[in-house]
Chains A and B, each alone.
Chain A
Amino acid sequence: MTGPARHGGTPERPSIVVRHHPDAPVAVLREVLAGAEEEGVPVLAWPDPTAGAGPPGDGGAVALAHRAARRSPLDTGVGIDVDGAVAVHHAKLPPRGPAFVEPAPAAAVPAGPAPPAAVSTGPAPPAAVSAEPAPPVAVPDEPAPPAAVSTGATSSAAVPDVPTPPGRRAGAAAARIVTGLPLPLDGPGRCGP
């Protein structure tokens, strides 16, 4: 198991890079990591100590995301600002034109019935600075639609009354940029600048 790369450096393994404000909400960071892991793409995260100090806008999610994308061997980065707003970026996109943005959660971040105190208590714990990458499972393109019964409406059928936790869609969007799947369209996140 490789640890995090040098602070601020470039990870050796193919992975999405997350850069977040040192005081970004831990719950949002956790969901960003979970979103990428669920899609089967490795992800590494570390705080960006310059986030609060730079010129105006430099600590914003979009600027953080673009810096992260340029560090990522997969050209894909996520930025989280101090309020928990999330942006997803690709190194080849214009700096001000992120691929996906999720606004900061309105109030305190609601989590599951047992919100973990730290980022994770799991056996393969993603620490605050280093998400243990999931095994890089290839995410296949959606299988051919079945002849008889399939689900055309998975997302609409899923959980109308429990909202997707903030950050999860952004994490998934970052992974889907890597694997070439459509970005999530519904919910609080939106595509493009």
Chain B
Amino acid sequence: MDDGSRLVVGVDIGNSTTEACVAAVDAAGRVQRLGSALTRTTGVKGTPDNTDGAVTAVRRALEGARRDPAGLDLVLLNEATPVISGLAMETITETIITESTMIGHNPSTPGGGGLGAGTTVPIDDLVGDAPVPGGPSIVVVPRGWDFDRVAAVLNDAVGRGLELVAAVLAHDDAVLVANRLTGEPAGGAIPIVDEVGAVERVPLGMAAAVEVAAPGRTIRTLSDSYGLASVFGLDPDQTRQVAPVARALTGNRSAVVVRTPSGDVSDRRVPVGELVLTGAGKTLRVDVDAGAEAIMDLLGRVQPLEDATGEPGTHVGGMLAQVRDTMTDVTGQPAAEIRIRDVLAIDTFVPREVRGGLAGEVALENAVALAAMVRTSRSRMQVVADRVAGALHCSARIGGVEGEMAVRGALTTPGTDRPIAVLDMGGGSTDAALLTADGACTAVHVAGAGELVTKLIDSELALDDRDTAEQVKWYPLAKVESFFHVRHEDGTVQFFTEPLPAHVFARVVVMTPDGPVPVPTRHPVDHVRRVRREAKRRVFVVNALRALRQVAPGGSLRMLEFVVLLGGSALDFEIPEMIADALAGHGIVCGTGNVHGTEGPRNAVASGLVDAWATEPAGEQAGELAS
């Protein structure tokens, strides 16, 4: 350049994004930042595949700064070692209904109300002039029956002496049928449960009970062990057996229980194999179904972790093996040399359709989610540097180690000072680095970050759609209350002058920049919000504390003074405050990074690379540019 300054680009290749920062550095080492850009990382971080992403980021940054790529003097890359993380989930409980004893069911519109106990009778048996069954009867109506005809047959049968106490319907007709019953008790007074999809599997000629609670209430008798004992005349042993039925029905507005000779609801633990953790000269084993707490306790006893393996044939074993294999493919290191360096276990739950259920009943099964991370010391960034140099016709070199550069960039946040720790919250791993007052830098990576949060939200809300889960993670929720207004999750309302689309009417929505997007769930806003915040807390707050303890002198958080949050998840609308809350008790100043007072939590490493180079003696700089 004419004024003797150099055009330099710092490039930070991260797990999910590659950032570039363009600057002009003059002969006196003064840095004038010209612009930055961001793109998706190509390939696994720290491998030659990164070249494309790095070149794209550099070109975009130059374009944004309106600089001619031909004038580019030097590209600086971070020394990054591959960090590969994996996720797996093991469901550790299973609810099975045998012999169709129970329908725990929340149709949106059950009919009538109260409790009816009697014998199950098919409606076909009531057609014509045949004598009606004696005793209290619960009529079971298969699909294909029209509501008017059901009501007519029932009214006729009651006229001939049927003691009708309840009905179970396949279609969504309960209110319609209830409104058309004329017999005693007066129409509407018997409980009717509808939308029972597998109604043909309801055992006939068996003792049964149907309960429908008043609007806004939940059932009281069938969800109570002694209520069931009273209805069916059970002895203490039998009552013990039906206790799981009562528990499974808790919270429903309507339910059907059929007592069959050997019917049962069982809630069993699924053995899912062992996790073997090695470290600190010990090898310890834990059953994955013991839960996250037991796994994390064990992990604490083998720190620093040297390796982890899972039982072949289990999800966790498969995931750990796959992480290892991917690293082998990426680095060419033999699998035997690759070690799992961290795991994070989290207790979660998965809504699953109950085996043997009749109306699509869903049970919340317990599960353990596990994130694992592997890193190697073998970096291939020099290859990336050579290829970038070739593609851009300029010099390129490795300008510094990631953790140190991140700290250097974070230190440009107004109001910070040494000792300073950074928490880089990315997609696959959470990284911490500490720069002490005397200039020593230490860094760690722990498993579990944004991807794990998305996965927890996806499975706990049974969304089965990663994109929706990602939106739930990123944006606040609201409930569409009319065609013209929404109520946000904090209770405030917002009016719209254009009508909101009908497909979001009365639904829980995510308020994205493109407008409200419906969340396919029956849960209220509060529940979805709780799931989202808990997922973030269990991953990021837990990992922030774990990672900072590993870099803090003596493992004591009190020795830290400034903590700066960096990375994509530092842009989240609530994660920074959750971490700041958790650290406040330790006398730590914690906040979101604002690199150079303008860049926010992005670009710390990329601009740190440029700043580091600018402070180097001029002779070394010249040597690089000449080569």
CB distance from B422 to the nearest CB of A (A): 40
CB distance from A21 to the nearest CB of B (A): 23
CB–CB B145/A113 < 8 A: yes
CB–CB B170/A159 < 8 A: yes
Specify which of B95, B247, B499, B522 is in contact with A93 (CB 8 Å cutoff). Answer: B499
Considering the complex, give the chain B residue whose CB is closest to the CB of A94: B499
Cα A105 to Cα B198 in complex, Å, equals: 27
Decide yes or no whether A9 CB sits under 8 A from chain B: no
Counted as pairs of residues, one from A and one from B, with CB atoms less than 8 Å apart, the total is 198
Decide yes or no whether A158 CB sits under 8 A from chain B: yes
Q: Mark A53-85, 1 if CB is under 8 A from B, else 0.
A: 000000000000000000000000000000000
Residues of A within 8 A of B173 (CB): 34, 38
Residues of B within 8 A of A120 (CB): 148
CB–CB A162/B505 < 8 A: no
Cα A130 to Cα B183 in complex, Å, equals: 24
Decide yes or no whether A108 CB sits under 8 A from chain B: no
Residues of B within 8 A of A100 (CB): 502
Specify which of A124, A145, A154, A162 is in contact with B360 (CB 8 Å cutoff). Answer: A154
- Given A122-B180, A145-B527 in contact, is the A158-B151 Cβ separation under 8 Å? no
Q: Mark A104-141, 1 if CB is under 8 A from B, else 0.
A: 00000001111110001111100000000011011111
Specify which of A94, A122, A147, A154 is in contact with B364 (CB 8 Å cutoff). Answer: A147
CB–CB B106/A37 < 8 A: no
Specify which of B170, B215, B216, B503 is in contact with A185 (CB 8 Å cutoff). Answer: B503
Residues of B within 8 A of A99 (CB): 483, 502, 505
Q: Mark A82-97, 1 if CB is under 8 A from B, else 0.
A: 0000000010111001
CB distance from B269 to the nearest CB of A (A): 15
Residues of B within 8 A of A146 (CB): 104, 106, 218, 249-252
Specify which of A144, A145, A147, A180 is in contact with B481 (CB 8 Å cutoff). Answer: A180
CB–CB B247/A148 < 8 A: yes
Specify which of B146, B179, B182, B360 is in contact with A152 (CB 8 Å cutoff). Answer: B360
Residues of A within 8 A of B529 (CB): none
Residues of B within 8 A of A26 (CB): none
From B143, B146, B484, name the one whose CB has the most chain A CB atoms within 10 angstroms: B146
Decide yes or no whether B339 CB sits under 8 A from chain A: no
Contact-size category for A: 35 or more
Residues of A within 8 A of B109 (CB): 38-40, 139
CB–CB A191/B503 < 8 A: yes
Residues of B within 8 A of A92 (CB): 483-484, 499
Considering the complex, give the chain A residue whose CB is closest to the CB of B105: A151
CB distance from A42 to the nearest CB of B (A): 12
Residues of A within 8 A of B247 (CB): 148
CB–CB B251/A147 < 8 A: yes
Residues of B within 8 A of A115 (CB): 146
CB distance from A44 to the nearest CB of B (A): 16
B43-51, B351-359, B374-382: which one contacts chain A?
A: B351-359
Specify which of B172, B175, B462 is in contact with A134 (CB 8 Å cutoff). Answer: B175
Count of chain B residues with a beta carbon within 8 Å of a chain A beta carbon: 69
Cα A34 to Cα B177 in complex, Å, equals: 10
Specify which of A40, A181, A182, A185 is in contact with B175 (CB 8 Å cutoff). Answer: A40
Residues of A within 8 A of B357 (CB): 149
Residues of A within 8 A of B533 (CB): none
CB–CB B362/A153 < 8 A: yes
Decide yes or no whether A24 CB sits under 8 A from chain B: no
Give the residues from 169 to 203 in chain B that come closer than 8 angstroms, CB to CB, to chain A: 170-176, 179-180, 182, 187-188, 195, 197-198
CB–CB B151/A122 < 8 A: yes
Residues of A within 8 A of B361 (CB): 149-151
From A138, A150, A182, A191, name the one whose CB has the most chain B CB atoms within 10 angstroms: A150
- Given A138-B215, A182-B506 in contact, is the A152-B362 Cβ separation under 8 Å? yes
Cα A99 to Cα B501 in complex, Å, equals: 8
CB–CB B248/A158 < 8 A: no
- Given A157-B195, A157-B359 in contact, is the A152-B176 Cβ separation under 8 Å? no
Considering the complex, give the chain B residue whose CB is closest to the CB of A168: B172
Considering the complex, give the chain A residue whose CB is closest to the CB of B104: A149
CB–CB A183/B502 < 8 A: yes
CB distance from B605 to the nearest CB of A (A): 43
Residues of B within 8 A of A159 (CB): 143, 170-171, 197
From A137, A141, A147, A149, name the one whose CB has the most chain B CB atoms within 10 angstroms: A149
Cα A100 to Cα B506 in complex, Å, equals: 14
Q: Mark B101-120, 1 if CB is under 8 A from A, else 0.
A: 01011111100000000000
Specify which of A140, A145, A151 is in contact with B215 (CB 8 Å cutoff). Answer: A140
Q: Mark B497-526, 1 if CB is under 8 A from A, else 0.
A: 001011101110000000000000011100
Cα A159 to Cα B107 in complex, Å, equals: 14
- Given A134-B175, A144-B524 in contact, is the A183-B483 Cβ separation under 8 Å? no
> Which 8 A-B pairs have CB atoms at the shortest separation, nearest pair first?
A112-B146, A146-B251, A157-B360, A157-B197, A191-B502, A149-B104, A149-B248, A153-B360
A–B Cβ pairs within 8 angstroms, 26 of them: A38-B172, A92-B484, A94-B499, A98-B502, A99-B505, A112-B146, A112-B147, A112-B149, A123-B155, A138-B215, A145-B527, A146-B106, A146-B249, A147-B364, A148-B364, A149-B102, A149-B357, A151-B107, A152-B360, A152-B522, A157-B197, A176-B506, A180-B481, A183-B502, A183-B503, A191-B503
Known: A158-B170, A159-B197. 16 other contacts (CB 8 A): A38-B109, A39-B175, A116-B149, A122-B179, A139-B215, A143-B106, A143-B253, A145-B251, A146-B251, A147-B250, A147-B251, A147-B364, A148-B364, A150-B252, A153-B362, A185-B503
